[in-house]
């Protein structure tokens, strides 16, 4: 079975997803990856690049041309489209209707759930609804994503929920000891994310006000110190996965103040190392975080409510329970083996249905 994966951008969660797909299916599938030339290094497998100058007309035309060339040369059995702009390739069904039976689409977070003007969200909804008829199957990364798809009119028969997952093993850098990890009695929570409105990093200054006096927030991502005003916030910048795991493992919790979230890879990355998560009650986060077992949720309109949550982290008995439950949540729901079974079943069902 030959599967062609196409993505218009692969930074962040999409890259994690594609690398996992490659690892869990390489014995059963030949995976081809068509990606922007300047982002191919994010993928561990060999890939085919296309010129991309961003999400303008020229970048989309370059992707369309590259897709047509690869499709003609390699004749894939399944075409897996990742994220909104790659999803536009389904328009090829207009000139070749047989492609419909090959297309699998995953939005990796619906565009119509973003924090945008209502008229724009209605346009995104209409586009996704129309294109849904040009897919054999649509993979939703959470139950929340499926319910949102059904809400705008996408047929439930087109949809399948397959949770994002991670390998059980992970890299760890035991020699990485930044200053804030060596301070006596220092406790901290961690924020990991892009400098994006979606991730809610702008809430961190206010959230830091509700921390116990001896706590700090460690920020990992494309940030600078002047992005924040609180002296309770430490900016670590971008770090390798092994260094992130070293910091995360010793944290009291991960904080996710997202405005919208189709899933939240950082949540299960945290669960994997046995660290609880404090997340907003937006998107799919309440589907992953089960208070008071593996973490807590809060309302972005009531940040003061986090004061009691942070205080709970200082209870050593409660904290040990949270850690054990966080690890158990990962093993029960988000392992690569579960993901592999679901993906291969999907592929086989598509082949049988032809």
SS (H, E, C) 276-317: CEEEECCCCHHHHCCCCCCEEEECCCCHHHHHHHHHHHCCHH
Residue pLDDT, tens place only, 272-325: 999 999 999 999 999 999 999 999 999 999 999 999 999 999 899 999 999 999
Residues 116 and 198 reside in one and the same domain: no
Q: Across residues 322-331, what is the average pLDDT?
A: 97
Q: What is the pLDDT of residue 94?
A: 92
Count of the separate structural domains present in the chain = 2
Over pLDDT 90: what percentage of the chain? 78
Residues with Cβ within 8 Å of 247's Cβ and at least 6 positions away in sequence, in order, are 176, 178, 181, 190, 218, 220, 236, 239
What gap in Å lies between CA 90 and CA 143, rounded to an integer? 24
In a domain, 229, yes or no: yes
Residue pLDDT, tens place only, 337-346: 999 999 999 9
In a domain, 298, yes or no: yes
Residues 123 and 207 reside in one and the same domain: no
More confident residue, 28 or 159: 159
Q: What is the pLDDT of residue 354?
A: 58
Residues 310 and 217 reside in one and the same domain: yes
Task: Please provide the distance, in angstroms rounded to a whole number, between the alpha carbons at the two ends of the chain.
Answer: 13
Residues 146 and 242 reside in one and the same domain: no
In a domain, 174, yes or no: no
Domain that holds residue 131: 2-165+335-353
CATH number of the domain within which 35 lies: 3.40.50.2000
Q: What is the pLDDT of residue 285?
A: 97
Above 80 in pLDDT, residue 352? no
> What pTM, to 2 d.p., does this model score?
0.91
Residues 212 and 157 reside in one and the same domain: no
Smallest CA-to-CA distance from 74 within 13, 5, 14, 121 is with: 5
Q: With beta carbons less than 8 A apart as the criterion, state whether 80 and 135 touch.
A: no
In a domain, 31, yes or no: yes
Residues 320 and 244 reside in one and the same domain: yes
Above 90 in pLDDT, residue 351? no
Residues 187 and 120 reside in one and the same domain: no
Q: What is the pLDDT of residue 184?
A: 56
Smallest CA-to-CA distance from 78 within 48, 107, 46, 100 is with: 100
More confident residue, 314 or 58: 314
Residues 126 and 93 reside in one and the same domain: yes
**Residue 175 pLDDT class (50, 70, 90 cuts):** confident
In a domain, 58, yes or no: yes
Both structure tokens of 46: 């060999």
Both structure tokens of 152: 């705008």
SS (H, E, C) 161-226: ECCCCECCCCCCCCCCCCHHHHCCCCEEEEEECCCCHHHCHHHHHHHHCCCCCCEEEEEECCCCHH
Residues 141 and 185 reside in one and the same domain: no
Over pLDDT 70: what percentage of the chain? 97
In a domain, 78, yes or no: yes
Q: Which residue has the tokens 């977070």?
A: 109
Q: What is the pLDDT of residue 353?
A: 62
Q: Across residues 190-209, what is the average pLDDT?
A: 95
Residues 26 and 136 reside in one and the same domain: yes
Could you tell me the CA-to-CA distances from 203 to 222, 227, 269, 306, 310 in Å, in that order?
16, 11, 22, 12, 15
Q: What is the pLDDT of residue 52?
A: 79
What gap in Å lies between CA 293 and CA 191, rounded to an integer? 20
Residue pLDDT, tens place only, 228-262: 999 999 999 989 889 999 999 999 999 999 999 99
Lowest-pLDDT choice from 23-32, 69-78, 123-132, 269-278: 23-32
More confident residue, 12 or 283: 283
In a domain, 125, yes or no: yes
Q: With beta carbons less than 8 A apart as the criterion, state whether 260 and 285 touch.
A: no
Residues 294 and 318 reside in one and the same domain: yes
Above 90 in pLDDT, residue 74? yes
**Residue 10 pLDDT class (50, 70, 90 cuts):** confident
Q: Which residue has the tokens 């586009």?
A: 127
Residues 300 and 265 reside in one and the same domain: yes
Both structure tokens of 207: 């959230």
Q: What is the pLDDT of residue 51?
A: 86
Q: What is the pLDDT of residue 86?
A: 95
In a domain, 186, yes or no: yes
Torsion angle of the four alpha carbons 342, 346, 347, 353, in this order, in degrees rounded to the nearest 10 = 160
Q: What is the pLDDT of residue 21?
A: 93
Quick one: 90 exposed, middle or buried, by C-beta within 10 A (0-12, 13-18, 19+)? Answer: buried
Both structure tokens of 32: 């081809």
């Amino acid at each position: 079975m030959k599967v062609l994966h196409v993505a218009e951008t692969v930074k962040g969660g999409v890259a994690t997803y594609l690398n996992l797909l490659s690892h869990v299916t390489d014995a059963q599938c030949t995976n081809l990856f068509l990606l922007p030339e300047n982002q191919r290094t994010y993928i561990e497998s060999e890939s085919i690049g296309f010129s991309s100058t961003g999400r303008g007309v020229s970048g989309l035309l370059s992707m369309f041309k590259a897709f047509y060339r690869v499709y003609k040369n390699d004749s894939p059995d399944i075409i897996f489209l990742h994220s909104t702009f790659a999803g536009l390739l389904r328009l090829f069904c207009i000139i070749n209707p047989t492609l419909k039976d090959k297309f699998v689409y995953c939005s990796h977070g619906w565009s119509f759930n973003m924090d945008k003007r209502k008229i724009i969200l209605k346009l995104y909804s209409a586009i996704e609804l129309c294109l849904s008829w040009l897919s054999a199957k649509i993979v939703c990364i959470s139950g929340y994503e499926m319910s949102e798809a059904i809400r705008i009119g996408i047929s439930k028969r087109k949809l399948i929920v397959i949770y994002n997952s991670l390998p059980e093993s992970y890299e760890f850098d035991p020699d990485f000891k930044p200053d804030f990890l060596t301070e006596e009695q220092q406790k901290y929570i961690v924020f990991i994310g892009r400098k994006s409105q979606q991730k809610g990093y702008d809430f961190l200054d206010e959230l830091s006000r509700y921390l116990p006096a001896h706590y700090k927030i460690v920020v990992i991502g494309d940030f600078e110190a002047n992005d924040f005003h609180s002296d309770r916030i430490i900016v670590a910048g971008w770090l390798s996965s092994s260094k992130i795991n070293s910091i995360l493992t010793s944290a009291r919790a991960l904080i996710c103040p997202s405005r919208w979230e189709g899933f939240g890879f950082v949540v299960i990355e945290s669960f994997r190392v046995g660290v609880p998560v404090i997340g907003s009650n937006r998107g799919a986060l309440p589907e992953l975080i089960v208070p008071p077992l593996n973490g807590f949720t809060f309302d972005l309109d009531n940040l003061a409510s986090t004061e009691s949550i942070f205080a709970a982290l200082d209870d050593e008995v409660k904290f040990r329970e949270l850690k054990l439950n966080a690890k158990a949540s990962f093993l029960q729901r988000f392992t690569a083996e579960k993901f592999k079974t679901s993906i291969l079943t999907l592929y086989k069902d598509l082949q049988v249905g032809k």
